Amino acid sequence: MSARQMKLGLFLWATGHHIAAWRHPDAHVTAGIDIDHYIALAQTAEAAKFDMVFCEDAAGLREANVNIASQTSRSIGFEPISLLSALAAQTERIGLVSTASTSYNEPYGLARMFASLDNLSGGRAGWNLVTSASPIEAANFGATGLRPHADRYARAREFATVIIGLWNRRAAGHDGESFSVRDPLDIPPSPQGAPVMVQAGASDDGKDLAARTADVVFSAAQTFEDAKAFYDDLKGRLAAYGRQPDDVKIMPGVAPIVAATKAEAQAKYDALQELIPDDVGVALLSSYLSISDLGRYPIDGQLPELPESEGMKSRQALVIEQARRDGLSIRELARYFAGARGHWRVVGTAEQIADELQARFEGGAADGFNVMPSWFPGELDAFATLVVPELQRRGLFRRDYEGRTLREHLGLKRPI
Amino acid sequence: MGSTMHLAISLNIAATDGQDVLDFGQISAFVRKTEAAGVDMVIISDSADKPSSSPFEATTLLAALATVTDKIGLVAGASTLAHQPYNLARRFASLDIISHGRIGWNATTAQNPREAANFSRPEGFSDDDFRRRAREFIDIVRLLWIGWEHDALLFDKASGRFHDPDKMHPADFTGEFFSVRGPLNVARSPQDVPVLVMSGLAGTELDFASRRADVVLLDKLEPSGARATCDEIKRRAHEAGRDPVTIKVLAMADAGPEHDGRGLEDLCLSSGCDGIVLTVQPRAAALEALVERLLPDLKRHGFAKAKPGKTLRDRLGLSEDSKP
| Average of per-residue pLDDT across A128-133 | 92
Tens of pLDDT, residues B38-55: 999 999 999 888 888 999
A89 domain-assigned: yes
Q: Which pLDDT score, from 0 to 100, does residue A293 have? A: 74
Q: Which pLDDT score, from 0 to 100, does residue A335 have? A: 87
The residue of A19, A30, A82, A166 whose CB has the most chain B CBs within 10 angstroms, and thus the best one to mutate to test that interface, is A82
Residue B321 — very low, low, confident or very high, per pLDDT cuts 50/70/90? very low
| pLDDT higher than 90, residue A139 | yes
Domain that holds residue A300: 262-340
- Give B155's contacts in chain A (Cβ within 8 Å): 22, 29-30
Residue A180 — very low, low, confident or very high, per pLDDT cuts 50/70/90? very high
Determine the Cα–Cα distance for residues B31 and A13; give it in Å rounded to an integer.
Answer: 32
- What angle do the packed helices B223-239 and B261-271 form, to 10 degrees? 40
Q: Which pLDDT score, from 0 to 100, does residue B281 have? A: 93
| pLDDT higher than 70, residue B184 | yes
Whether the CB-CB separation of A381 and A73 falls below 8 Å is answered with: no
B1 domain-assigned: no
Q: Which pLDDT score, from 0 to 100, does residue A67 have? A: 92
A247 with A310, same domain: the answer is no
A121 with A167, same domain: the answer is yes
Whether the CB-CB separation of A99 and A72 falls below 8 Å is answered with: no
B154 domain-assigned: no
Whether the CB-CB separation of A167 and A195 falls below 8 Å is answered with: yes
Q: Does A66 touch chain B (CB under 8 A)?
A: yes
A237 with A148, same domain: the answer is yes
B75 domain-assigned: yes
B155 domain-assigned: no
| pLDDT higher than 50, residue B323 | no
B157 domain-assigned: no
Q: Does A58 touch chain B (CB under 8 A)?
A: yes
Q: Indicate yes or no: CB of A180 within 8 angstroms of CB of B117.
A: yes
Q: Which pLDDT score, from 0 to 100, does residue B131 have? A: 92
| Average of per-residue pLDDT across B181-206 | 92
| Average of per-residue pLDDT across A277-302 | 84
Q: Which pLDDT score, from 0 to 100, does residue B279 have? A: 96
A1 domain-assigned: no
Give, for A174, the enclosing helix (H) or strand (E): strand A174-175
Percentage of residues of chain B with pLDDT beyond 90: 82
Burial class (CB in 10 A: 0-12, 13-18, 19+), A147: middle
| pLDDT higher than 90, residue A352 | yes
Residue A1 — very low, low, confident or very high, per pLDDT cuts 50/70/90? very low
Q: Does B97 touch chain A (CB under 8 A)?
A: yes
Number of domains in chain A: 2
Percentage of residues of chain A with pLDDT beyond 90: 75
| pLDDT higher than 70, residue A2 | no
Q: Does the predicted interface ipTM exceed a cut of 0.90?
A: yes
Tens of pLDDT, residues B260-309: 999 999 999 999 999 999 999 999 999 999 999 999 999 999 998 887 77
Q: Indicate yes or no: CB of A106 within 8 angstroms of CB of B82.
A: yes
Is the peptide bond prior to B296 cis by the omega test (within 30 degrees of 0)? no
A2 domain-assigned: no
Residue B32 — very low, low, confident or very high, per pLDDT cuts 50/70/90? very high
A107 with A237, same domain: the answer is yes
A328 domain-assigned: yes
Residue A382 — very low, low, confident or very high, per pLDDT cuts 50/70/90? very high
Q: Which pLDDT score, from 0 to 100, does residue A308 have? A: 64
Q: Residue A151's domain is classified under what CATH number?
A: 3.20.20.30
B171 domain-assigned: no
Residue A203 — very low, low, confident or very high, per pLDDT cuts 50/70/90? confident
A60 with A183, same domain: the answer is yes
Is the peptide bond prior to B282 cis by the omega test (within 30 degrees of 0)? no
Q: Does B98 touch chain A (CB under 8 A)?
A: yes
Determine the Cα–Cα distance for residues A91 and A114; give it in Å rounded to an integer.
Answer: 17
Tens of pLDDT, residues A234-287: 999 999 999 999 999 999 999 999 999 999 999 999 999 999 999 898 888 887
| pLDDT higher than 70, residue A341 | no
A397 with A306, same domain: the answer is no
Of A291 and B215, which is predicted with more confidence? B215
For chain B, positions 101-130, list CB contacts with chain A under 8 A: 114, 117-122
Q: Indicate yes or no: CB of B63 within 8 angstroms of CB of A181.
A: no
Burial class (CB in 10 A: 0-12, 13-18, 19+), B176: exposed
A94 with A239, same domain: the answer is yes
Determine the Cα–Cα distance for residues B231 and A346; give it in Å rounded to an integer.
Answer: 68
| pLDDT higher than 80, residue A322 | no
A115 domain-assigned: yes
Determine the Cα–Cα distance for residues B209 and B199; give it in Å rounded to an integer.
Answer: 9
Q: Which pLDDT score, from 0 to 100, does residue A81 have? A: 98
Determine the Cα–Cα distance for residues B59 and B71; give it in Å rounded to an integer.
Answer: 18
The residue of B46, B52, B57, B164 whose CB has the most chain A CBs within 10 angstroms, and thus the best one to mutate to test that interface, is B57
Tens of pLDDT, residues A37-68: 999 999 999 999 999 999 999 999 998 899 99
A415 domain-assigned: no
Residue A145 — very low, low, confident or very high, per pLDDT cuts 50/70/90? low
A44 with A80, same domain: the answer is yes
| Average of per-residue pLDDT across B178-201 | 95
Nearest CA in chain B to A122: B24
| Average of per-residue pLDDT across B149-157 | 98
Q: Does B185 touch chain A (CB under 8 A)?
A: yes
Q: Which pLDDT score, from 0 to 100, does residue A337 have? A: 77
Whether the CB-CB separation of A368 and A361 falls below 8 Å is answered with: yes
Determine the Cα–Cα distance for residues B144 and B90; give it in Å rounded to an integer.
Answer: 8
A231 with A314, same domain: the answer is no
A401 domain-assigned: yes
| pLDDT higher than 90, residue B18 | no
For chain B, positions 233-292, list CB contacts with chain A under 8 A: none
| pLDDT higher than 70, residue A312 | no
| pLDDT higher than 80, residue B100 | yes
- Give the lowest-confidence range in A338-352, A381-395, B88-102, B255-269: A338-352
What DSSP string runs through B127-169? HHHHHHHHHHHHHHHHHHHTSB-TT-EEEETTTTEEE-GGGB-
Q: Which pLDDT score, from 0 to 100, does residue A416 have? A: 61
| pLDDT higher than 70, residue B320 | no
Name the range with the highest mean pLDDT among A107-116, A148-157, B124-133: A107-116
Per DSSP bridges, beta strands A174-175 and A180-181 are: antiparallel
Number of domains in chain B: 1
Pick from B129, B118, B88, B102: nearest CA to B8:
B102
Residue A307 — very low, low, confident or very high, per pLDDT cuts 50/70/90? low
B122 domain-assigned: yes
A317 with A209, same domain: the answer is no
Residue A318 — very low, low, confident or very high, per pLDDT cuts 50/70/90? low
Residue B322 — very low, low, confident or very high, per pLDDT cuts 50/70/90? very low
A416 domain-assigned: no
| pLDDT higher than 50, residue B1 | no
Of A148 and B106, which is predicted with more confidence? B106
Q: Residue B102's domain is classified under what CATH number?
A: 3.20.20.30
Q: Work out the mean pLDDT of chain B and round it to a whole number.
A: 93
Q: Work out the mean pLDDT of chain A and round it to a whole number.
A: 92
**Residue A120 is nearest to which of B24, B98, B153, comparing CB atoms?**
B24
| pLDDT higher than 70, residue B324 | no
A107 with A215, same domain: the answer is yes
Of A10 and B122, which is predicted with more confidence? A10
| Average of per-residue pLDDT across B226-241 | 94
Count CB pairs under 8 A between chains A and B: 181
Determine the Cα–Cα distance for residues A174 and A178; give it in Å rounded to an integer.
Answer: 10
| pLDDT higher than 60, residue A146 | no
Q: Which pLDDT score, from 0 to 100, does residue A147 have? A: 65
- Give the lowest-confidence range in A212-226, A322-336, B148-162: A322-336
A309 with A406, same domain: the answer is no
Domain that holds residue B33: 6-147+191-322
